[in-house]
Amino acid sequence: MNRGSKTFGIAWRLGVGGILLVWIFHSIFMVEGRQTWKDMGQAWEQLSRWKQWTVAWSYGPGKLWSTLSLVGLPGLILSLVCMGMTILLGVMRWRLVLHLQGLNLSFGRAAEISWVAHFFNSFLLGSTGGDLLKAYYAARETHHKKAEAVTTVFIDRLVGLFAMLLFACLMIGANLSLVRGNAPLRVLAGFIGLMMLGCATAVGLSLWGGVSRWWPRARHWLRQRPKGELFERGLDAAHLLGKNPFLLVRVFLLSMALNVFCVLQVMALAWGLGLTIPARALFVIVPAIVCISAMPISPSGLGVRENLYVLALGVPEIKVDATAALALSLLAYAGSLLWSILGGIVYVVRKDRDRLAEVAENAGQTHLNSP
């Protein structure tokens, strides 16, 4: 793919994210502007479209900020703790996969790399864009198992996504009456079901294979491709996890615990905002939105996530107004951004240290090879 194609791909995704954000903000500001104008005893319907938009964007941001500022400090702190727990559990899960490949990365170093990846996830496409950088750093930690190191990142993410989708499906099944009675939640559930089928297929092929059964020459064909040997080693590394059910169960349980903390983060913010949202509803909505936001549609899922929260929390059984739902989504994202600051600091500090290490290593190799 040439530079122009890459630039176009990034540009249209940025455009989609921007349009979605502008749309949801405009829709909510229109509601707030209309209500404010009527409270002032003015006739909203007599205003021109342009005047309505002017009023909406004059009063709407202030109303949204007022809602955001209502969050209590205890709820905010608790949500940050829950967000931090999701990152730490992710580090623990990744180290299990690394250890299986004989890559004994220390907890501190694994945490550094994970926090840097979290920092880049804050503005790259989807909520998993930082995994590419994580894979790059993982490969630099070894000289002889680079393919296996890169594979651990993607297998860790794939299993984590599968666990989140399964968690969402289980919660949907436990709350069918809530889902069936509301069109937005039915659409959300249907999309999660489709994602689950695709992800389950990817997990099955990655961990246990099966392509060679229908196409015996598949491995031979792969070896003939550029970098085919590295891809084959990556497949073997993924299959190794499938051959270790005990370890796979441990990875899966850590993923489920991570999923619970994702929901608890939003529950803490809802409590801090004084919103009355049934816990069973959040256990359906939050994992579903996390999964969909992970798709590379917009930077860090911005716009996609906010629209989904407004739609899902606005159903009659929950009745959270659009401004509060948007505030809840923005606060959840803000908590993630606060933790990403740590990743940014680690990136700046480690970048210089890693560069010095590379220089020293290259100098040492030059010295050894010199006559």
Instruction: List, for residues 152-199, the tens digit of each pLDDT value.
Output: 888 888 899 999 999 999 999 988 888 888 888 999 999 999 999 999
pTM of the model: 0.77
Residue-wise pLDDT tens digits, 23-37? 656 766 776 677 677
Residue 128 has pLDDT above 60, yes or no: no
Between helix 322-369 and helix 107-121 the angle, nearest 10°, is 130
159 with 64, same domain?
no
124 with 56, same domain?
no
164 with 215, same domain?
yes
119 with 221, same domain?
yes
- How far apart (Å, rounded) are the C-alpha atoms in residues 83 and 266? 9
Which residue, 238, 211, 85, 249, is CA-closest to 156? 238
101 with 49, same domain?
no
55 with 81, same domain?
no
Which residue, 233, 333, 355, is CA-closest to 17? 333
Residue 363 has pLDDT above 70, yes or no: no
Residue 219 has pLDDT above 60, yes or no: no
| Number of folded domains that form the chain | 2
Domain encompassing residue 32: 1-69
63 with 176, same domain?
no
Contact 29, 56 (CB under 8 A): yes
**pLDDT value of residue 91:** 93
End residue of a domain, out of 9, 42, 69: 69
**pLDDT value of residue 105:** 83
Residue 17 has pLDDT above 80, yes or no: no
Residue 121 has pLDDT above 90, yes or no: no
**Cα 304 to Cα 31, 64, 196, distances in angstroms:** 20, 18, 19
- How far apart (Å, rounded) are the C-alpha atoms in residues 87 and 66? 30
Contact 338, 80 (CB under 8 A): yes
59 with 134, same domain?
no
15 with 153, same domain?
no
191 with 271, same domain?
yes
Which is more confident, 13 or 174? 174
Find where tokens 């969050």 sit: 71
End residue of a domain, out of 42, 69, 96: 69
End residue of a domain, out of 25, 49, 69: 69
In the structure, what pLDDT confidence band is assigned to residue 342 with cuts at 50, 70 and 90? confident
Which is more confident, 170 or 20? 170
3 with 111, same domain?
no
- How far apart (Å, rounded) are the C-alpha atoms in residues 119 and 114? 9
Contact 320, 269 (CB under 8 A): no
Residue 11 has pLDDT above 70, yes or no: no
210 with 329, same domain?
yes
Strand partners, 334: none
